Structure 1
Amino acid sequence: MSTSVRFKQLLASALVSASLCTTAFADTWRYAHEEYEGDVQDVYAHKFKEYIERESDHTLQIYRFGELGESDDIMEQAQAGILQFVNQSPGFTGALIPEAQIFFIPYLMPTNMDTVVEFFRTSKAINERFPQLYAEKGLELLKMYPEGEMVVTADEPVTSPSDFAGKKIRVMTNPLLSSTYKAFGATPVPLPWGEVYGALQTNMIQGQENPIFWIESGGLYEVSPNLIFTGHGWFTTASMANKQFYDALPKQDQQMIQRASEYAFNETLKHIDGLADRSLKKIQAADSDVTVTHLSEAQIDVFKERAELVEKTFTEMTGSSGKELLMQFKSDLAATE
């Protein structure tokens, strides 16, 4: 046998072996989030999947809201390693990581999109401090990202804390959010998402808060038709991985996952640009009974005064860790603005 033929046989054998090795390490990873098809978290998840499957032999199976349970259920599955990836808002993670509730201090975050985006890109609190806090709970924080300005819906227009008196407002299962609506003059009612529409329909609650795209997507305006733009914050969410799973991956896979999260982040920002306006137009076209109230600066100032109580509650809940985080948060915001 000639040297040339022998070399070709060895090369072919090596290529087959390499192919088999690649196949052996190609896995199907599971990713669950909290929203419906086409919503912001679903867009992020599919862009993440797109990058993973383009750059590796791995595949990603995505589960939307309700397919594996509520938000608390998918977090438990992620911590147990049943899911490799999970997307969950600090509104629910706050019970696990108290410091994550910082996003629910009203009027701490700006509402201008360009400022919000720049803050998420450059904030030391988000990009350096939060990964440590999540790691302590067995989670590899991949990316925190904004979804949209928070909007309140109610059974009648609201322009002052006195208008909230006697109203039960649904909140996510996070103690600080309850403190916010107590400060605003309402009675907070923690409820999982699956119960919200029915509770509004039966007047068990008289209002709730969410980004406008979610109010449109979930049909909440049908049973809670008065939209109030209070300017008190943005809805934030986070994608993360089971840390034990992540740490066991080859370095190249870890780097690929980080690149995928950055790609998904950038693509999602494109998606949310103008999304609120488009969603509001859909709501107004679908239901002529909907009212839209934008609070004036003077009206917002009244709510801002009450927000100081919530900031105090946050530092009491989280101790020195929370105080340091809040200082860094404010420093990052000042640098951005």
Structure 2
Amino acid sequence: NGVKLRLMSSKLLVEQWKAYGATPTPMSYGEIYGGLQMGLIDAQMNPIFADYSMKFFEVTDYFIKTYAEAYLGIPTVNQVLFDSLPKNAQEKMRQFWSEANLSSAKWIEEKNNSDMEKIKKERPEVEFTTFSDQEIEKMRNIAVPNYSNFSKIGGKDAQLIMDTLIKDVSDAKKALGI
């Protein structure tokens, strides 16, 4: 509650973290280190590899793995354009991005783990915490009622996108057995 949390400038992220009780503070990426150092922000949301490469760990004592967001590229294409492509081209694009995202996710997880070990070695006093299943469920219970804001903020088709994302996550969990 009340944690001044640096986020990207996104109304959706701001509203979501307000629901969690944080004080979202949009700030450019280049201002994070100084913001942490001077106490303008208490925390920030970035993958571990960014925390290591940008040296945020030098001015951060605690890290929490929240599973709040995957840090992957998300391919996008205009639906009209995509639908106009030959079916074999559409399938090749789907297959390529499916494989690319899976291998990227594996690489990012390995990179984050490696950089976390480097941080521990360089600053042994830093504490790492991983949200428990109960803590994740508590966050989920706070998040779900806020979903209605997304369609208000996102405009036309935002609800369709949200529903599709929720279904995709559910399907992925089933496919992965989690």
Which TM-score applies when normalising by structure 1?
0.42
Deviations 1:277-303 (A, max 9, x none): 111101101101200111222222222
Q: What residue identity is the alignment partner of 2:45?
A: E
Structure-2 change in CA distance of 1:240 and 1:304 (3 Å): closer
1:226 has 2:62 as partner: yes
Deviations 1:242-276 (A, max 9, x none): x9xxxxxxxxxxxxxx7xx86x9377456335122
1:208 has 2:44 as partner: yes
Mapping of residues 185-334 of structure 1, within 5 Å: 185-238=21-74, 265=100, 268=104, 271-334=107-170
CA distance in 2 between counterparts of 1:301 and 1:335 reads 18
Gaps of 5+ in 1: 1-164, 244-257
Structure whose CA Rg is larger = 1
Identity %, equivalent residues: 28
Runs of 4+ in 1 over 4 A off after TM superposition: 238-241, 266-270
CA contact (8 A) 1:228 1:292 kept: yes
Q: What residue identity is the alignment partner of 1:274?
A: E
* Greater helix content: 2
CA contact (8 A) 2:6 2:43 kept: yes
Quote the RMSD (CA, aligned, Å): 2.6
Deviation at 1:240, TM superposition (A): 7.7
Deviation at 1:307, TM superposition (A): 0.7
Which TM-score applies when normalising by structure 2?
0.76
Deviation at 1:310, TM superposition (A): 3.0
Correspondence for 2:90: none
CA distance in 2 between counterparts of 1:328 and 1:200 reads 36
Mapping of residues 25-104 of structure 1, within 5 Å: none
Deviation at 1:320, TM superposition (A): 4.7
* Greater strand content: 1
CA contact (8 A) 2:72 2:104 kept: no
